[in-house]
Structure 1
Amino acid sequence: MELRAFKKEDHDVLIEWIDSEKLNYQWGGPTFEFPLDSVQISKHCSQTKVFPFIFVISGKSAGYVELFRVSASHFRICRVFISDSFRGNGASKLMLHKLVELAKEKYSASLLSLAVFERNLVARNCYESLGFTVTSSESGSRSFDGEIWGLLRMEKRL
């Protein structure tokens, strides 16, 4: 089990995972247009503040996650995704635990933040189990297909 740098060779697996417009929005917010493609991924991942990772379990790609540098010691966790075949067995918690350790050890992060859609209770529960707490909520700032999706901001001090 490892969290390694996301590479161009990983684009196809991410594109395969993000297979609907709704999932694309839930995963990437307004950053990506559906269908996801290698051009969008390359453009996004080439930003100097974006650190993308692929989570590998037993040699198979199991998930994707990013760190976004907000400041020298503050990073935002973005675009968390676990593939269907690895859901329901704690893989997201393992991936995020590895990411928290990496942020602390490699990037000297002292604060991690994230945003999660209020309706995504599984993700919220996972973040809370890792010590993240809700710091604010936004309603009306995001919507999909006529539905308003409330957004929660969460933080964890390291």
Structure 2
Amino acid sequence: MTLTAPTEQHYLQLKNWFSNHQAIYTWGGPNMAYPMSDDNFLKCLTAEHFNSFCLLNDEQQLVAFGQYYRRLEHHHLGRLAVNPKYRGQGLAKTLIKLLLEQAYLTQTAKGASLFVFKDNIVAYQCYQSLGFIETDYPEQPFPGNMQNCAYMVLPTKN
């Protein structure tokens, strides 16, 4: 597995993983819509503050995608997705571990954080298995479309 910067082709492959408004809105946030033009999709994902990465398998196929940025002194993970063809193989854990390795190489932080929708049990359990702990979000109200989310943090290991 290789973590790499996405190309335009990767972004457009990623766009095809979503087949309705609820799926893309839940994953990508309030600026996402379905259907959505390629240009608008690219614009949303390539905003300057996002660090975007693709996980490619040995055949160079796009198997997962994720972003991180600084939020409340943490490496905040967002827009994590695994290609539907490859789900159930532990790729989300691989993606998260590699994203955090990259994040700690480029910036300092108190730990990592993420939002997960409370009804996304598979993702919630995945994050728990990596050591993320649900905690109160330090700012109110929750941002954007995140009201039905849990805020999880992974403290740094000293």
Stretches of structure 2 lacking an aligned partner (at least 5 in a row): none
Q: Alpha carbon RMSD of aligned pairs, Å?
A: 2.3
Question: Identity of counterpart residues, as a percentage?
Answer: 26
Unaligned runs of 5+ in 1: 144-148
Q: Which has the higher strand share?
A: 1
CA gap of 1:36–1:80, structure 2 versus 1, over 3 A, is farther
Superposition pairs of residues 34-49 of structure 1, within 5 angstroms: 34-49=34-49
1:54 equivalent in structure 2:
54
1:90 Cα shift? 0.6
* Equivalent residue, structure 2, for 1:83: 83
CA distance in 1, matches of 2:82, 2:36: 16
TM-score (norm 1): 0.84
Identify the residue that residue 70 of structure 1 maps to in structure 2.
71
* Contact in 2 for aligned 1:66/1:80 (Cα 8 Å): yes
Per-residue deviation, residues 98-152 of structure 1 (Å, max 9, x unmatched): 111111123333321111100000000111111110012789x849xxxxx7210
Q: How many residues were matched structurally? A: 151
Q: Any conservation in 2 of the 1:18–1:36 contact (CA below 8 Å)?
A: no
Structure 1 residue 69 displacement after superposition: 2.3
Q: Does 1:154 align with 2:152?
A: yes
The list of structure 1 runs, each at least 4 consecutive aligned residues, that deviate by more than 6 angstroms after superposition, is none
- Matched with 2:3 is 3
For residue 149 of structure 2, what is the amino acid of its counterpart?
A: L
